[in-house]
A and B are shown apart, each in its own frame.
Chain A
């Protein structure tokens, strides 16, 4: 009964979304306030209906109602409660429902908190948001209905894929969706601005927080996914350049570009049409991501729901929205006149460079991702594009970005001299270079990757700190640090985070140690400065799996550190083996231990990895997200409401700052 109600609510939401899409738009075109005013309540109703539908599906999962097909296929009565809940979005249909739920939530938020937007603009934003919702609700209702019943319900379910039964992965999809879908707000604002024919600082002030929020969620979602891959997949890789990973990475890069170019629009009223284009592209790439994940046109390890029919449906949605928006852009972009003038050496130019590097690197990832498809269709070549290509083609952009960032971040707006920030940054530059030289002299292999990574890390973190300190004025009054605008702090923290991540990635790739051997119980072996002893191997049973578990004592130069328990698990219901690596997490390095197969003589294969700096990868991502959060709570967004009223008049000649 509850599932039918959920289905009904979803259908109803579809019709409400239709109204939300059509009526306010007519109102905005004919200038009728009553019709425009319908947008916000429709957005609320639309959200609550989808929420009801989502809760109904969750109810079916939590109570293990196996008459619902989706529950029977993806759940099991013995599964821990948290995974029954996360199982709701651990499958194609449920995850699409979560997708539209978040979409509707963002739309409703624009309705609730958008009082400071003009009525017609809000109506247009919500109408576009409603249109996206209509498309995806139709997609769910016609191709991926989560509420289908089974004629003959099974006694128990088929269980969720054991790899997905993991806390890191339980929250990875919701964060990614918050990010993907958050970009729909930037898209709706862009299209509404094109319809309205006006982009000003106030527009940017509205778009930036949404983009920032979406970018923060994407950062967290991607970091969670990569962390999960690191500890769950059993050999400690954290990024595979897989099509589905790229699908989340491209919107991340474009959102990063967008939130920087929105600053230029906000502060200087330049780069308007480019920012609009970026907003369209960023959401376009998140739709492309959805398409890649769910159509199965590209072979990926994330075999999610490979169904050509669904793929075609998403492709049509993609074509309509992105094609439509780009056509509108082509027709209207010339109306977006830039006002602010700036010289060749200025913060504006630095941000243009930032946008070029981020956008082109996103396109490089895109070309690499779809090249196998293009090559097969156009040149009849069956080929692969793997990590070696991406490492080679993508990394230079990040190195250039890292080198330029500290300088660009300190050049003044409008007109600056490049030498002033360079002089300030000189000590950091020398320090970073010296550290890199030292590492180069110390390390054995003489690979350049490590020193370059260390140089970039030190340069970017040091540069971010210098930037903050330079705000203190001549007398170095450190009490002013706390009174600096939060967006300044956010910028420095996020920029340092990128530096930390770059350093960690380089360090891990160069200095990792690996050892593969056969070990009999009781035997001792050493890797680097560590000594390990396989004490015992025993059988253990979990709630829904059986496991073989090793007990391995870990010592460092004769001092006992801990006992590690690597496991090989088997999930009988899903009929699937998994490995649980044992990891000793420390500040500077991880010791990563994997139990392999038993040999004929009773000994076991054991893989030991010493992975330096791994935690720094995610610490850096966390810093980036934290910096975004600080920036999001900046005063100008909190008080933007008051500024908005005056903005159209005030921005005619004088930019906001």
Chain B
């Protein structure tokens, strides 16, 4: 039975090919271009992991038409996205919001990079210190005297 489900999932996914239908396209190319941009940021809610721009599920089509409808009404891109979020929740957004706990997601990369750079800097400084000490590797006068003493002692023993 589970296999049936998997096949179902696959066949929904295969739907890709039919994405945006000719009858949906707006007459105004500028508006249509904006609709395409918005569509790429909206998730097809019944699909596995695709935007409404790629999906042929009927819900995706409804959403595409909805987006175009709101655009024709004169709304801005943000207003359209907000409208979809109030209706379907933030699950519909493929580009997660930067509000609340999502801040962690967005700053994770830069913070990790900064941390890594700091650690690496400290590490390389340590290595560099070794270069400098290695440069003065020749024995100092005091060291030479000590070494001679030790050698003498061992010879005596």
A300-B48, A375-B101, A387-B94 given; A306·B18 CB < 8 A: no
A386 shortest CB reach to chain B, Å:
3
A158-B3, A356-B116, A383-B90 given; A344·B54 CB < 8 A: no
Residue of B nearest to A384 (CB): B43
**Residue pair B96, A301 in contact (C-beta under 8 Å):** no
**Residue pair B91, A360 in contact (C-beta under 8 Å):** no
B36 shortest CB reach to chain A, Å:
9
Inter-chain CA distance A306–B6, complex, in Å, is 8
Interface string of A567-586 (1 = CB under 8 A from B): 00000001111110100000
**Residue pair B96, A389 in contact (C-beta under 8 Å):** yes
A382-B89, A393-B106 given; A579·B113 CB < 8 A: no
Binds B, one of A207-215, A237-245, A427-435, A539-547: A237-245
Inter-chain CA distance A368–B18, complex, in Å, is 28
**Residue pair B124, A382 in contact (C-beta under 8 Å):** no
Residues from chain B with a CB closer than 8 A to the CB of A305 are 6
Interface string of A152-184 (1 = CB under 8 A from B): 000000100101000000000000000000000
A594 contacts B by Cβ under 8 Å: yes
**Number of B residues contacting the other chain (C-beta, 8 Å)?**
57
A303-B10, A341-B127 given; A385·B96 CB < 8 A: yes
A381 contacts B by Cβ under 8 Å: yes
**Residue pair A359, B109 in contact (C-beta under 8 Å):** no
B20 contacts A by Cβ under 8 Å: yes
Inter-chain CA distance A71–B10, complex, in Å, is 20
Interface string of B1-37 (1 = CB under 8 A from A): 0110111011101101111111001000000000000
B70 contacts A by Cβ under 8 Å: no
Binds A, one of B61-69, B128-136, B141-149: B128-136
Residues from chain A with a CB closer than 8 A to the CB of B124 are 342, 344, 348-349, 352
**Residue pair A368, B49 in contact (C-beta under 8 Å):** no
B117 contacts A by Cβ under 8 Å: yes
Interface string of B92-105 (1 = CB under 8 A from A): 11111100111001
**Residue pair B120, A356 in contact (C-beta under 8 Å):** yes
**Residue pair A343, B128 in contact (C-beta under 8 Å):** yes
Residues from chain A with a CB closer than 8 A to the CB of B22 are 516-518, 605
A338 contacts B by Cβ under 8 Å: yes
Interface string of A108-143 (1 = CB under 8 A from B): 000000000000000000000000000000000000
Inter-chain CA distance A237–B7, complex, in Å, is 21
Inter-chain CA distance A341–B130, complex, in Å, is 5
**Residue pair A344, B101 in contact (C-beta under 8 Å):** no
**Residue pair B128, A341 in contact (C-beta under 8 Å):** yes
A5 contacts B by Cβ under 8 Å: no
Residues from chain A with a CB closer than 8 A to the CB of B150 are none
Interface string of A377-416 (1 = CB under 8 A from B): 0110111111111001110010000000000000000110
B132 shortest CB reach to chain A, Å:
8
**Residue pair B48, A577 in contact (C-beta under 8 Å):** no
**Number of A residues contacting the other chain (C-beta, 8 Å)?**
72
The answer, among B3, B7, B95, B116, for a CB contact under 8 Å with A389, is B95
Within 8 A of B (CB), among A279-332: 299-301, 303-307
Inter-chain CA distance A393–B134, complex, in Å, is 42
B108 contacts A by Cβ under 8 Å: yes
**Residue pair B48, A384 in contact (C-beta under 8 Å):** no
**Residue pair A575, B7 in contact (C-beta under 8 Å):** yes
**Residue pair A393, B20 in contact (C-beta under 8 Å):** no
Inter-chain CA distance A383–B89, complex, in Å, is 8
**Residue pair B108, A364 in contact (C-beta under 8 Å):** yes
**Residue pair B40, A388 in contact (C-beta under 8 Å):** yes
Residues from chain B with a CB closer than 8 A to the CB of A382 are 89-91
Residues from chain A with a CB closer than 8 A to the CB of B134 are 341
B99 shortest CB reach to chain A, Å:
10
A614 contacts B by Cβ under 8 Å: no
A245 shortest CB reach to chain B, Å:
10
Residue of A233, A382, A386, A414 ringed by the most chain B CB atoms within 10 A? A386
B97 shortest CB reach to chain A, Å:
8
**Residue pair B50, A301 in contact (C-beta under 8 Å):** yes
Interface string of A237-280 (1 = CB under 8 A from B): 10010110000000000000000000000000010000000000
**Residue pair A356, B40 in contact (C-beta under 8 Å):** no
Residues from chain A with a CB closer than 8 A to the CB of B51 are 386-387
Residue of B nearest to A568 (CB): B17
Within 8 A of B (CB), among A334-364: 338, 340-344, 348-349, 352-353, 356, 359-361, 363-364
Residues from chain A with a CB closer than 8 A to the CB of B105 are 367-368, 371, 375, 385, 389
Could you name 25 residue pairs across A and B whose Cβ atoms are closer than 8 Å? A234-B14, A235-B17, A301-B50, A303-B48, A306-B2, A338-B127, A340-B127, A341-B130, A341-B131, A360-B112, A363-B109, A363-B112, A364-B109, A367-B105, A378-B101, A381-B102, A384-B93, A385-B96, A386-B41, A386-B93, A387-B94, A516-B20, A516-B22, A578-B14, A596-B18
9 more CB-based (< 8 A) A-B contacts, given A341-B130, A371-B96, A597-B18: A235-B19, A368-B105, A383-B90, A384-B93, A388-B40, A389-B95, A415-B131, A605-B21, A607-B17
